[in-house]
Amino acid sequence: NLTTSLTNPQHLLFDEICNSPWFKDTTFMLFLNKTDLFREKIPRVPLTVCFPDYSGENNYEQGTSFIKQQFLDTRNFNQKIYHHYTCAISTENVKFVFGAVKDTLLDGTLDTFLL
């Protein structure tokens, strides 16, 4: 149930911004941070503690996919939302993610101006 998952302040803020008419044609970048902590805790703490309607296995892949989908499902408009799983304390991960973001922004800019 989407309403249940939107009790988290981050979900509420994302929902408010993403569904604002001001941003209906905006491309978003969703950063799901602290993957290291999530990977460590998911075997010990069921995801149903935060998401009672979660029915997948208690593992990193299914858990991160479910959480990402909770954010994507909040949009009322058909915006592009690029997502990245991040671990801000990992220099290599940060470099990789920001390189991917830069490429995405450049591609979007080229598409806009070159049609």
Residue 3 is labelled as binding a ligand: no
pTM above 0.75, yes or no: no
Residue 74 is labelled as binding a ligand: no
Q: Which domains does the chain have, with CATH numbers?
A: 2-114 (3.40.50.300)
Residue 33 is labelled as binding a ligand: yes
Residue 88 is labelled as binding a ligand: yes
Report yes or no: 6 and 60 within 8 Å, Cβ to Cβ: no
pLDDT tens digits, 34-76 = 899 999 999 999 999 888 889 999 999 999 999 999 888 887 7
As a whole number of angstroms, the distance between CA 8 and CA 90 comes to 25
Token code pair at residue 89 = 């304390």
* Residue 112: predicted pLDDT: 61
* Residue 113: predicted pLDDT: 65
pLDDT at 25 over 50: yes
